[in-house]
Amino acid sequence: MNPKALIRAAIIAIAWIAIATIGSELSGAFKQLLTSIGGHHWIGKSILTAVFFVLSYLALTKFSDDELSLKDTLSLVGMVILAGLAILIFYILHA
Amino acid sequence: MINPLILLHAMVAEFGLFAFLWVLVEVLNPTEARIRRARIAASLGLACLLVAWFAGGFYYVEVYGSHVKPVIKASEVAWVHSVIMEVKEHIFLFLPVLAATTAALLIKYNNELLHNRNARVSVAMLAGLIFLLGFAIAGMGAIIAGGYRFAMEAGLA
């Protein structure tokens, strides 16, 4: 198991969640696409989050060395904060 | 009467969050026994968050959308849905990703955590993040429940 690839895959998955969340509110067509996966846009986001996480990990194992640095983990923490704030601010502004 | 799915969702999720607090405590000053317990806690925590994901998701799709959301949105506290619930349902998705990552790191590094500071601090940071983020999400859940009660009482007044 490649820990660096795993952390980076988690970063991609969390970025995807924020992009999909905001994108689905701004684009009816994108929301409809997500709805077509599983019958509800939230289910579509959930499924694609898992899929992107796994696929990103598999792809990144080919490019990443497997030495985990604190910088990788701090990047993940940073992405969680950034994505979380983006979602929060978006919904406050669009309430 | 509380819907059983919400009770399951909340209880299992909170147990999962405490499991990751347990992970954090065990890896702060690790020994082989503490690492073993941390691995068990992380696996339990991940399983709990996955159950919470499914239970909460089922409730959200099948019950909340048709019975709870319209009541809240028609009330003076419509923001409880349009801000709090919307934020909660999407930020929740971070938790299974973080939980799977933390559990996988614990399994991968195992007793190497005794000597690998980067891995140990990474596991501790992620476990702490899951706990804090999860309890913020739980707080949002409490606001939503309160908002629904307020909206129901306002409707009956």
Contact yes or no for B104/A1 (Cβ under 8 A): yes
User: Are residues A1 and B79, on separate chains, in Cβ contact within 8 Å?
Assistant: no
| pLDDT recorded at residue B156 | 66
Q: Which residues of B36-62 are buried (b: 16+ CB within 10 A; e: fewer)?
A: ebbbebbbbbbbbbbbbbebbbebbbe
Domain carrying residue A25: 3-93
| pLDDT recorded at residue A35 | 95
Check pLDDT > 60 for residue B148: yes
In chain B, which residues have their Cβ closer than 8 Å to the Cβ of A53?
97, 100
- Return the amino acid letter for B66: S
Domain positions in chain B are 4-156
How big is the CA angle at B55 (ends B134 and A31), to the nearest 5 degrees? 85
pTM exceeds 0.80: yes
Is B58 part of the contact surface with chain A (CB cutoff 8 Å)?
no
| pLDDT recorded at residue B38 | 97
Q: Domains in chain A: how many in total?
A: 1
Is A22 part of the contact surface with chain B (CB cutoff 8 Å)?
no
User: Are residues B122 and A17, on separate chains, in Cβ contact within 8 Å?
Assistant: no
| pLDDT recorded at residue B1 | 67
| pLDDT classification of B8: cutoffs 50, 70, 90 | very high
Check pLDDT > 60 for residue B157: no
| pLDDT recorded at residue A76 | 98
Nearest to B97 among A18, A42, A49 (CB): A49
In chain B, which residues have their Cβ closer than 8 Å to the Cβ of A68?
105, 118-119, 122
Alpha helices in chain B (DSSP H): 4-28, 32-59, 69-73, 79, 86-91, 94-109, 117-156
| pLDDT recorded at residue A64 | 72
The mean of the pLDDT values for chain B is 94
CA gap B6, A51 in Å, rounded: 26
